[in-house]
Amino acid sequence: MLDVPPDVIELVPPRKVPKTSSGKIRRSAARGIYESGLSMQREHSLWWQMTWLALSGFGSRLRRIRHWLAEVIYAGYWWGLLVAVAILIWPAIILLPSHRWRHRFVRDAVRGFLRATRTPMRVEWEAELPSGGTMIVANHASYLDALVITAAIPEALSFVAKEELARQRVAGPFLRRLGTLFVRRIDPKGGVEDTQHQLEAARRGARIVSFPEGTLTRRPGLLGFHLGAFLVAGQAGIPVVPVTVQGTRSILRGEQWFPRRGEIVVHICKSMAPQGSDFAAAVKLRDQARAMILQHYGEPDLSYESIFLETV
Protein backbone atom coordinates (compact mmCIF):
# COMPACT_ATOMS: atom_id res chain seq x y z
CA MET A 1 0.00 0.00 0.00
CA LEU A 2 1.41 3.35 -1.00
CA ASP A 3 1.96 5.95 1.56
CA VAL A 4 0.36 9.13 0.36
CA PRO A 5 0.74 12.25 2.32
CA PRO A 6 -2.47 13.50 3.75
CA ASP A 7 -2.14 16.83 2.04
CA VAL A 8 -1.94 15.13 -1.32
CA ILE A 9 -5.16 13.20 -0.88
CA GLU A 10 -8.00 15.07 -2.45
CA LEU A 11 -11.27 14.31 -0.87
CA VAL A 12 -13.83 13.74 -3.63
CA PRO A 13 -17.38 13.96 -2.39
CA PRO A 14 -19.57 11.01 -3.37
CA ARG A 15 -21.90 11.47 -6.36
CA LYS A 16 -25.43 12.07 -5.40
CA VAL A 17 -27.87 9.50 -6.85
CA PRO A 18 -31.37 10.88 -7.31
CA LYS A 19 -33.87 9.19 -5.14
CA THR A 20 -36.75 7.62 -7.08
CA SER A 21 -39.89 6.45 -5.42
CA SER A 22 -41.60 3.19 -6.36
CA GLY A 23 -44.67 5.12 -7.60
CA LYS A 24 -42.61 7.09 -10.10
CA ILE A 25 -41.03 3.87 -11.33
CA ARG A 26 -44.40 2.33 -11.96
CA ARG A 27 -45.67 5.41 -13.78
CA SER A 28 -42.56 5.51 -15.94
CA ALA A 29 -42.90 1.83 -16.78
CA ALA A 30 -46.55 2.28 -17.67
CA ARG A 31 -45.72 5.15 -19.96
CA GLY A 32 -43.07 3.07 -21.69
CA ILE A 33 -45.50 0.23 -22.25
CA TYR A 34 -48.10 2.65 -23.60
CA GLU A 35 -45.66 4.29 -25.98
CA SER A 36 -44.30 0.98 -27.19
CA GLY A 37 -47.49 -0.85 -28.11
CA LEU A 38 -50.60 -0.07 -26.18
CA SER A 39 -51.68 2.66 -28.56
CA MET A 40 -51.55 0.20 -31.46
CA GLN A 41 -53.61 -2.25 -29.49
CA ARG A 42 -56.19 0.43 -28.72
CA GLU A 43 -56.34 1.51 -32.35
CA HIS A 44 -56.88 -2.10 -33.35
CA SER A 45 -59.62 -2.51 -30.77
CA LEU A 46 -61.39 0.64 -31.96
CA TRP A 47 -61.20 -0.48 -35.57
CA TRP A 48 -62.62 -3.87 -34.64
CA GLN A 49 -65.47 -2.30 -32.70
CA MET A 50 -66.38 -0.03 -35.59
CA THR A 51 -66.30 -2.97 -37.99
CA TRP A 52 -68.46 -5.04 -35.68
CA LEU A 53 -71.00 -2.25 -35.31
CA ALA A 54 -71.16 -1.81 -39.07
CA LEU A 55 -71.68 -5.54 -39.60
CA SER A 56 -74.33 -5.65 -36.87
CA GLY A 57 -76.19 -2.72 -38.42
CA PHE A 58 -76.04 -4.34 -41.82
CA GLY A 59 -77.42 -7.56 -40.36
CA SER A 60 -80.38 -5.80 -38.74
CA ARG A 61 -81.11 -3.88 -41.96
CA LEU A 62 -80.95 -7.14 -43.88
CA ARG A 63 -83.44 -8.74 -41.49
CA ARG A 64 -85.80 -5.77 -41.87
CA ILE A 65 -85.55 -6.01 -45.66
CA ARG A 66 -86.28 -9.74 -45.54
CA HIS A 67 -89.27 -9.14 -43.26
CA TRP A 68 -90.59 -6.42 -45.58
CA LEU A 69 -90.16 -8.64 -48.64
CA ALA A 70 -91.99 -11.47 -46.88
CA GLU A 71 -94.89 -9.13 -46.08
CA VAL A 72 -95.06 -7.86 -49.67
CA ILE A 73 -95.00 -11.40 -51.07
CA TYR A 74 -97.72 -12.46 -48.62
CA ALA A 75 -99.88 -9.45 -49.51
CA GLY A 76 -99.53 -10.20 -53.22
CA TYR A 77 -100.42 -13.84 -52.65
CA TRP A 78 -103.36 -12.84 -50.41
CA TRP A 79 -104.90 -10.49 -52.98
CA GLY A 80 -104.18 -12.81 -55.90
CA LEU A 81 -105.93 -15.66 -54.15
CA LEU A 82 -108.89 -13.45 -53.16
CA VAL A 83 -109.37 -12.30 -56.75
CA ALA A 84 -109.16 -15.91 -57.97
CA VAL A 85 -111.78 -17.00 -55.43
CA ALA A 86 -114.05 -14.09 -56.40
CA ILE A 87 -113.76 -14.98 -60.09
CA LEU A 88 -114.62 -18.57 -59.24
CA ILE A 89 -117.66 -17.94 -57.04
CA TRP A 90 -119.28 -15.04 -58.93
CA PRO A 91 -120.79 -17.13 -61.78
CA ALA A 92 -121.70 -19.90 -59.34
CA ILE A 93 -123.69 -17.47 -57.17
CA ILE A 94 -125.46 -16.10 -60.23
CA LEU A 95 -126.40 -19.58 -61.48
CA LEU A 96 -127.23 -21.52 -58.29
CA PRO A 97 -131.03 -21.57 -57.81
CA SER A 98 -131.25 -21.79 -54.00
CA HIS A 99 -130.32 -19.11 -51.49
CA ARG A 100 -129.09 -21.81 -49.09
CA TRP A 101 -126.89 -23.35 -51.75
CA ARG A 102 -125.43 -19.98 -52.64
CA HIS A 103 -124.61 -19.20 -49.03
CA ARG A 104 -123.03 -22.63 -48.51
CA PHE A 105 -120.88 -22.18 -51.61
CA VAL A 106 -119.64 -18.79 -50.41
CA ARG A 107 -119.06 -20.10 -46.89
CA ASP A 108 -116.93 -23.01 -48.12
CA ALA A 109 -114.97 -20.72 -50.44
CA VAL A 110 -114.21 -18.26 -47.62
CA ARG A 111 -113.14 -21.05 -45.29
CA GLY A 112 -110.82 -22.38 -47.98
CA PHE A 113 -109.40 -18.89 -48.49
CA LEU A 114 -108.69 -18.53 -44.75
CA ARG A 115 -106.94 -21.90 -44.67
CA ALA A 116 -104.89 -21.11 -47.78
CA THR A 117 -103.72 -17.79 -46.29
CA ARG A 118 -102.95 -19.46 -42.94
CA THR A 119 -105.47 -17.32 -41.09
CA PRO A 120 -106.78 -19.38 -38.16
CA MET A 121 -110.37 -18.70 -37.10
CA ARG A 122 -111.91 -19.80 -33.82
CA VAL A 123 -115.68 -19.67 -33.29
CA GLU A 124 -117.02 -19.53 -29.72
CA TRP A 125 -120.70 -20.37 -29.23
CA GLU A 126 -122.62 -19.48 -26.09
CA ALA A 127 -125.77 -21.01 -27.57
CA GLU A 128 -127.17 -22.10 -30.92
CA LEU A 129 -128.98 -19.62 -33.10
CA PRO A 130 -132.74 -19.45 -32.54
CA SER A 131 -134.91 -20.94 -35.24
CA GLY A 132 -136.76 -18.62 -37.56
CA GLY A 133 -136.15 -14.93 -38.07
CA THR A 134 -133.15 -13.52 -36.22
CA MET A 135 -131.36 -10.17 -36.08
CA ILE A 136 -127.58 -10.71 -35.79
CA VAL A 137 -125.71 -7.55 -34.79
CA ALA A 138 -121.90 -7.37 -34.90
CA ASN A 139 -119.09 -4.88 -34.51
CA HIS A 140 -117.55 -3.52 -37.70
CA ALA A 141 -113.74 -3.33 -37.64
CA SER A 142 -112.67 -4.35 -41.16
CA TYR A 143 -113.82 -5.06 -44.70
CA LEU A 144 -113.36 -8.74 -43.81
CA ASP A 145 -116.13 -8.84 -41.20
CA ALA A 146 -118.91 -9.96 -43.55
CA LEU A 147 -116.75 -12.75 -45.00
CA VAL A 148 -115.72 -13.91 -41.53
CA ILE A 149 -119.31 -14.02 -40.25
CA THR A 150 -120.33 -15.93 -43.38
CA ALA A 151 -117.60 -18.48 -42.71
CA ALA A 152 -118.42 -18.74 -38.99
CA ILE A 153 -122.21 -19.19 -39.13
CA PRO A 154 -123.47 -22.20 -41.08
CA GLU A 155 -126.96 -20.78 -41.64
CA ALA A 156 -127.99 -18.76 -44.70
CA LEU A 157 -127.65 -15.04 -43.95
CA SER A 158 -128.95 -11.75 -45.36
CA PHE A 159 -126.58 -8.84 -44.80
CA VAL A 160 -127.63 -5.21 -44.54
CA ALA A 161 -125.48 -3.05 -46.85
CA LYS A 162 -125.46 0.49 -48.16
CA GLU A 163 -127.55 1.10 -51.25
CA GLU A 164 -124.57 2.38 -53.26
CA LEU A 165 -123.32 -1.21 -53.62
CA ALA A 166 -126.51 -2.23 -55.38
CA ARG A 167 -125.68 0.04 -58.32
CA GLN A 168 -122.28 -1.53 -58.96
CA ARG A 169 -122.13 -3.77 -62.03
CA VAL A 170 -120.18 -6.59 -60.41
CA ALA A 171 -121.06 -6.36 -56.72
CA GLY A 172 -124.73 -5.46 -57.24
CA PRO A 173 -125.99 -8.69 -58.88
CA PHE A 174 -123.74 -10.78 -56.65
CA LEU A 175 -125.06 -9.26 -53.41
CA ARG A 176 -128.68 -9.39 -54.54
CA ARG A 177 -128.36 -13.12 -55.26
CA LEU A 178 -127.09 -13.57 -51.70
CA GLY A 179 -130.20 -11.88 -50.30
CA THR A 180 -128.55 -8.62 -49.27
CA LEU A 181 -130.90 -5.95 -47.92
CA PHE A 182 -129.87 -2.50 -49.13
CA VAL A 183 -130.52 0.67 -47.12
CA ARG A 184 -130.57 4.32 -48.19
CA ARG A 185 -128.85 6.29 -45.47
CA ILE A 186 -129.55 9.88 -46.55
CA ASP A 187 -133.05 9.49 -47.98
CA PRO A 188 -135.67 9.52 -45.17
CA LYS A 189 -138.49 8.24 -47.37
CA GLY A 190 -136.29 5.55 -48.87
CA GLY A 191 -135.07 4.62 -45.40
CA VAL A 192 -138.65 3.92 -44.30
CA GLU A 193 -139.17 1.67 -47.32
CA ASP A 194 -135.91 -0.16 -46.63
CA THR A 195 -136.96 -0.74 -43.02
CA GLN A 196 -140.20 -2.22 -44.28
CA HIS A 197 -138.25 -4.60 -46.52
CA GLN A 198 -136.22 -5.74 -43.50
CA LEU A 199 -139.39 -6.32 -41.52
CA GLU A 200 -140.83 -8.45 -44.31
CA ALA A 201 -137.62 -10.47 -44.56
CA ALA A 202 -137.51 -11.00 -40.79
CA ARG A 203 -141.12 -12.19 -40.73
CA ARG A 204 -140.30 -14.64 -43.52
CA GLY A 205 -137.66 -16.19 -41.25
CA ALA A 206 -134.52 -14.51 -42.62
CA ARG A 207 -131.40 -14.29 -40.48
CA ILE A 208 -130.40 -10.66 -40.96
CA VAL A 209 -126.85 -9.49 -40.22
CA SER A 210 -126.45 -5.80 -39.39
CA PHE A 211 -123.45 -3.68 -38.36
CA PRO A 212 -125.06 -1.07 -36.06
CA GLU A 213 -121.93 1.10 -35.96
CA GLY A 214 -122.71 2.00 -39.56
CA THR A 215 -119.05 2.54 -40.43
CA LEU A 216 -115.53 1.40 -39.66
CA THR A 217 -112.32 3.18 -38.73
CA ARG A 218 -108.63 2.48 -38.35
CA ARG A 219 -108.83 3.55 -34.73
CA PRO A 220 -109.44 0.66 -32.30
CA GLY A 221 -112.67 0.84 -30.34
CA LEU A 222 -116.40 0.24 -30.49
CA LEU A 223 -118.45 3.14 -31.83
CA GLY A 224 -122.01 3.98 -30.83
CA PHE A 225 -124.84 1.89 -32.29
CA HIS A 226 -127.67 3.14 -34.48
CA LEU A 227 -131.19 2.06 -33.57
CA GLY A 228 -132.41 0.73 -36.94
CA ALA A 229 -131.68 -2.96 -36.42
CA PHE A 230 -133.19 -2.96 -32.94
CA LEU A 231 -136.35 -1.19 -34.06
CA VAL A 232 -136.78 -3.82 -36.77
CA ALA A 233 -136.23 -6.62 -34.23
CA GLY A 234 -138.77 -5.14 -31.85
CA GLN A 235 -141.43 -4.57 -34.48
CA ALA A 236 -140.91 -8.00 -36.05
CA GLY A 237 -140.73 -9.70 -32.66
CA ILE A 238 -137.51 -11.55 -33.46
CA PRO A 239 -134.54 -12.19 -31.13
CA VAL A 240 -131.25 -10.32 -31.35
CA VAL A 241 -127.93 -12.22 -31.32
CA PRO A 242 -124.83 -10.10 -30.53
CA VAL A 243 -121.65 -11.26 -32.31
CA THR A 244 -118.11 -10.05 -31.55
CA VAL A 245 -115.43 -10.31 -34.25
CA GLN A 246 -111.82 -9.94 -33.12
CA GLY A 247 -108.63 -9.86 -35.18
CA THR A 248 -109.92 -8.56 -38.50
CA ARG A 249 -108.80 -4.99 -37.78
CA SER A 250 -105.16 -6.03 -37.40
CA ILE A 251 -105.33 -8.12 -40.60
CA LEU A 252 -106.93 -5.48 -42.84
CA ARG A 253 -107.62 -2.06 -41.33
CA GLY A 254 -110.12 0.43 -42.59
CA GLU A 255 -108.79 2.65 -45.40
CA GLN A 256 -105.89 0.21 -45.81
CA TRP A 257 -105.32 -2.43 -48.47
CA PHE A 258 -102.18 -4.16 -47.16
CA PRO A 259 -103.16 -7.43 -45.43
CA ARG A 260 -101.11 -8.91 -42.59
CA ARG A 261 -101.12 -12.23 -40.79
CA GLY A 262 -103.33 -12.69 -37.76
CA GLU A 263 -105.84 -14.82 -35.91
CA ILE A 264 -109.61 -14.30 -35.94
CA VAL A 265 -111.99 -15.05 -33.07
CA VAL A 266 -115.78 -14.92 -33.48
CA HIS A 267 -117.81 -14.96 -30.26
CA ILE A 268 -121.54 -15.63 -30.68
CA CYS A 269 -123.55 -14.59 -27.63
CA LYS A 270 -126.90 -15.86 -26.39
CA SER A 271 -129.97 -14.42 -28.06
CA MET A 272 -131.90 -11.54 -26.52
CA ALA A 273 -135.66 -11.19 -26.85
CA PRO A 274 -137.07 -7.67 -27.37
CA GLN A 275 -139.25 -6.38 -24.52
CA GLY A 276 -141.49 -4.31 -26.75
CA SER A 277 -141.82 -2.67 -30.14
CA ASP A 278 -141.58 0.99 -29.15
CA PHE A 279 -138.61 3.35 -29.17
CA ALA A 280 -137.74 2.84 -25.49
CA ALA A 281 -137.63 -0.94 -25.91
CA ALA A 282 -135.32 -0.55 -28.93
CA VAL A 283 -132.95 1.70 -26.94
CA LYS A 284 -132.81 -0.81 -24.09
CA LEU A 285 -132.19 -3.70 -26.49
CA ARG A 286 -129.45 -1.74 -28.26
CA ASP A 287 -127.64 -0.92 -25.01
CA GLN A 288 -127.79 -4.52 -23.82
CA ALA A 289 -126.49 -5.93 -27.10
CA ARG A 290 -123.70 -3.37 -27.27
CA ALA A 291 -122.61 -4.12 -23.69
CA MET A 292 -122.33 -7.82 -24.54
CA ILE A 293 -120.23 -7.14 -27.64
CA LEU A 294 -117.98 -4.72 -25.77
CA GLN A 295 -117.43 -7.31 -23.02
CA HIS A 296 -115.76 -9.71 -25.47
CA TYR A 297 -114.22 -7.14 -27.81
CA GLY A 298 -111.04 -6.14 -25.99
CA GLU A 299 -111.09 -2.62 -27.47
CA PRO A 300 -112.06 0.72 -25.86
CA ASP A 301 -115.55 2.18 -25.73
CA LEU A 302 -115.84 5.04 -28.21
CA SER A 303 -119.54 5.74 -27.78
CA TYR A 304 -118.81 9.12 -26.17
CA GLU A 305 -116.03 10.13 -28.54
CA SER A 306 -116.56 12.84 -31.14
CA ILE A 307 -114.92 11.33 -34.22
CA PHE A 308 -115.35 12.42 -37.80
CA LEU A 309 -115.36 9.26 -39.87
CA GLU A 310 -115.77 8.39 -43.49
CA THR A 311 -118.75 6.11 -43.90
CA VAL A 312 -117.92 2.90 -45.75
* DSSP collapsed to 3 states, 234-246: HHHCCCEEEEEEE
Average pLDDT over residues 8-20: 51
Nearest Cα neighbor of 245 from 154, 140, 159 is 140
| Residue 36, pLDDT score | 57
**CATH topology classification for 119-297:** Glycerol-3-phosphate (1)-acyltransferase (3.40.1130)
239 Cβ contact partners less than 8 Å away, ≥ 6 residues apart: 130, 134, 135, 233, 271, 272, 273, 274
Give me the residue spans of the domains in the chain: 119-297
Q: With contact defined as beta carbons under 8 Å apart, do 273 and 132 qualify?
A: no
Q: With contact defined as beta carbons under 8 Å apart, do 183 and 163 qualify?
A: yes
pLDDT, tens digit, 9 for 90 and up, residues 271-312:
999 999 999 999 999 999 999 999 999 889 888 765 544 433
Rounded to 5 degrees, φ, ψ at 297 are -80, -40
Average pLDDT over residues 206-218: 90
Indicate the DSSP class of residue 182.
E
Nearest Cα neighbor of 293 from 246, 244, 249 is 244
pLDDT, tens digit, 9 for 90 and up, residues 160-178:
998 888 889 999 999 999 9
CA angle 210, 94, 122 (to 5 degrees): 45
